[in-house]
Amino acid sequence: MKKELDEKLCKDHPKIFANRDGDVMTTAMCWGFECGDGWYNIINSLCYLIQSHIDWHNSKRERAIKYNEMIKQAQAGDFTLFDAYYAGYKPEFIATTKENIMKHRLWDVDEPMPQVVAEQVKEKFGTLRFYTNLSDDYISGAISMAEAMSAVTCEECGNPGQSNTTGWLRVRCKDHE
């Protein structure tokens, strides 16, 4: 991959590519993106999906913690956080909610989701491979989708392509066959 595209991916997704300049003994990202420029958009989109998923999960966790603090405090009779939390709501809604505060249950608080870090990004057997330090079902699915998209995307230019049937497996468009 061209240096400019490599740098742009690392700049746009610094958490995912934290190991980009890492030591050869700890990460294969030290060799950079071992694929053509045509897969830049696939990799970039995949990184947005992964980082958005992590950020959403962790912000949901933070909202649950704040909500639980507010409910516990209100159930103890102190409505300071409650009033701030429901500022701007209709007075009838606030009054009803306060009357029923003892019925409110606490939200489940998930464990924080650790940051996913790319360990290697390369072409293998004609398609993209995106290896990470950890994953969940969502991230595994996103990676599988990106890898499947690479199977029909020219690695050179990003146009629709197909895999050759002989020799070194590559996905190319008609212009790059």
The pLDDT score that the predictor gives to residue 151 is 95
The pLDDT score that the predictor gives to residue 177 is 84
Assessment of whether the complete model's pTM goes beyond 0.85 = yes
pLDDT along the chain (177 residues), means of 10: 97 97 91 96 98 98 96 94 93 93 93 96 95 96 98 95 84 90
On the CB side of 155, how many CA atoms lie within 13 Å of its CA? 24
The pLDDT score that the predictor gives to residue 89 is 95
The pLDDT score that the predictor gives to residue 58 is 97
Q: Dig out the tokens for 93 from the structure.
A: 């809604």
Q: Which amino acid is at 43?
A: I
> Counting beta carbons within 10 angstroms of the beta carbon of residue 1, is it exposed (0 to 12), middle (13 to 18) or buried (19 or more)?
buried
Query: What distances in angstroms separate CA 23 from CA 20, 70, 103, 120, one per listed residue?
Result: 9, 46, 54, 13
Q: Where are the domains of the chain?
A: 3-55+114-176, 56-103
The pLDDT score that the predictor gives to residue 154 is 95
